[in-house]
Amino acid sequence: MRLVYRLITIVFLILLQGGTVFAVEATLRILPDKGFYSPGDTVQLTVSASAGSQVQARISYLRTVITTLDAPLVGGEASLTWTPPPEAPRGYGVSVTILDENGTTLAAQSTAFDVLNHWIEAPRYGFLSDFNPARVNDTPAIEWMLRHHINGVQFYDWQYRWEDLLPETDRFDDGLGRPQSMVTIRRLIDGLHARSIAAMPYTAIYGASWAFYQQHQDWAMFDARGEAFTFGDNLIGIMDPTPGSAWNVHLLNEFADVLDNTAFDGIHIDQYGSPKTGFDGEGNPIDLAEVMPQFIDQTAEIVQDRRGDAGVTLFNAVGNWPIEAVAPSQQDASYIEVWSPYNDYLDLNRIITNAQHWGDDKPVILAAYIHPDRVINWRLANSVILASGAYHLETGEAGVMLADPYFPRFEQIADADQPVFTRYYDFVVRYENVLSVGTTAGESARHSAISVDDVRMRGIRSRDRVVPIVRTGADFETFNLINFLDIDVSDWNGVTTVPPTPLTNQPVTINVERPVAGVWVASPDSEASMEAVALPFAIEGGTLSFTLPRLDYWTMIVVEYEHGT
């Protein structure tokens, strides 16, 4: 597939002498050279434009312009370089304009980048699922990831077998008969590493091929009738991962083998959500809610031994289970695959804040599968997820979204929808210091502290109201307003066909107990609204008041307080 970048076409009407009107059309692409930057790294942005002679860029931290850059366009391309301050984690916005030889603006677009101590501080997790020996061009996928600031990638079903991860030959068929190549896998890992993107191998905590299960039936998990649990139609046998069991020792040795013989950056562990309890071959009870965190800790020890502090251990809490047990474990982030009964858009927020609570504010990654044709669904879902300080595993292969739990069944994002999709990724990086890193979920009372004129804002479900999601920092509060007014379906995994009704020039009040230094807004809903805009405000009797210019899907309001108050 030809990689489609966000395309901004701005037509300027230029009135010249005699009233002649000319239309100038220019396309613009901005590509960072890394998924994230470590302290001391130099940022390089490649700017490509179909017209123009000069590039100008403003780099900002939140609402403060830090520096400006400029460079000539030579052959339609320019390179902008800048070394950020060493402070981390910190996200930056970049606003680029293309000028012609007369200084007239032809096109404008924004992007972002961030400086992190470790990618897992702000894990924008993506995926790869094609490891065919015929795959020879990795550039479209890697450039797509760079444009969306992906900094960690799950290699999904890359392995030879679930119980025998590394093949003995370069070319092999996986457990579902797909042709794979270790040359392709190693090349992809190296290509990602060259761009500061981590590579994580998919594994399953208790899955074994049917042939392996038949050879080791006493290693399996059994139900109360003494029958072994299976997954699929004689596809996978469910084994007993209890620490010290034969399967446990076997799989952990496989993990060590992978880390010893590949450049993967850690281990990603999956489960299937069922069974939750069972018995071992001797009839002893197994409670996987107790076993899973122990298994995670065992894996983390292997990762630490082979990769040190750079290594990462992740585990899939399928259906949000057993998040209370695994979130406090030695996993580096809470990864949750969302299923029913968590159907409402607001259930996504509740899952995230619960995981943040049990995980002592570790990062949270949701895998919630939405077909890219359901644009209203993924816009609202991403608004809730990102506003809650979390991240959404949904893309990686070029131009696609995950539409199914079996990752190779991804679907293409329509060209027309890619600009808004990309803006969400720019937005969460640009404003990460008031959305995610260094912030915590606001107390429930703070969600009730904000009112928007006479708009309905309270309730358990999302439909027909504006939902406030609050994040709290040292000297600020972030009030994210998500608009669900007049949508027809509030199930994120259903088909929402009616978009929210926009609001304009709405009076807003917030109860405050500290001196306010400033109020500003930004939104990923349009290119223009990506820029932070300060709002005039008034305070009377502990009530902050101002006018909200617009709310389409998601508008972020940041209230800054006097330092130290």
* Tens of pLDDT, residues 254-273: 999 999 999 999 999 999 99
Residues 6+ apart with CB under 8 A from 244: none
Q: Is the pLDDT of residue 21 over 80?
A: no
Mean pLDDT of the chain: 94
pLDDT for 16 equals: 27
Q: What is the mean pLDDT of residues 61-75?
A: 97
pLDDT for 101 equals: 94
Q: Is residue 402 a contact partner of residue 394, using CB atoms and an 8 Å limit?
A: yes
Q: Does this model's pTM top 0.85? A: yes
How does pLDDT run across 442-455, given as a tens digit for each residue? 999 999 999 999 99
How does pLDDT run across 475-517, given as a tens digit for each residue? 999 999 999 999 999 999 999 999 999 999 999 999 999 999 9
pLDDT for 234 equals: 87
pLDDT for 459 equals: 86
pLDDT for 6 equals: 34
How many helices (H) and strands (E) the chain has is answered by: 11, 36
Q: CA geometry: angle at 29 spanning 27 and 30, to 5°? A: 150
pLDDT for 179 equals: 97
116-144 burial code (b ≥16 CB/10 A, e <16): bebbbbbbbbbbbbbbeeebeebeebbbb
How far is 252 from 306, CA to CA, in rounded Å? 13
| Percentages of the chain per state (helix, strand, coil), in multiples of 5 | 25, 35, 40
- φ, ψ for residue 37 (rounded to 5)? -120, 140
How far is 334 from 355, CA to CA, in rounded Å? 7
Q: Which residue has the tokens 């208790």?
A: 206
Residues 6+ apart with CB under 8 A from 418: 4, 5, 6, 7, 399
How does pLDDT run across 163-205, given as a tens digit for each residue? 999 999 999 999 999 999 999 999 999 999 999 999 999 999 9
Provide the token pair at 271: 């489960």
Q: Is the pLDDT of residue 1 over 60?
A: no
pLDDT for 565 equals: 74
In a 3-state reduction of DSSP, which class is residue 522? strand
Confidence class for position 112, pLDDT limits 50, 70, 90: very high
How far is 470 from 458, CA to CA, in rounded Å? 14
Q: Which residue has the tokens 């379906």?
A: 489
In a 3-state reduction of DSSP, which class is residue 525? coil
- φ, ψ for residue 91 (rounded to 5)? -105, 145
How does pLDDT run across 394-411, given as a tens digit for each residue? 999 999 999 999 999 999
Q: Is residue 400 a contact partner of residue 412, using CB atoms and an 8 Å limit?
A: yes
How far is 441 from 210, CA to CA, in rounded Å? 44
In a 3-state reduction of DSSP, which class is residue 39? coil
Provide the token pair at 493: 């995994």
Paired strand residues for 520: 534, 558
Q: Is the pLDDT of residue 523 over 80?
A: yes
Q: Is residue 280 a contact partner of residue 222, using CB atoms and an 8 Å limit?
A: yes
Name the percent of the chain lying above pLDDT 90: 93
pLDDT for 25 equals: 65
Q: Is the pLDDT of residue 3 over 70?
A: no
pLDDT for 13 equals: 29
Return the CA Rg of the chain.
25
Read off the DSSP letter of residue 341: T
pLDDT for 9 equals: 32
How far is 422 from 440, CA to CA, in rounded Å? 25
Q: Is residue 477 a contact partner of residue 445, using CB atoms and an 8 Å limit?
A: no
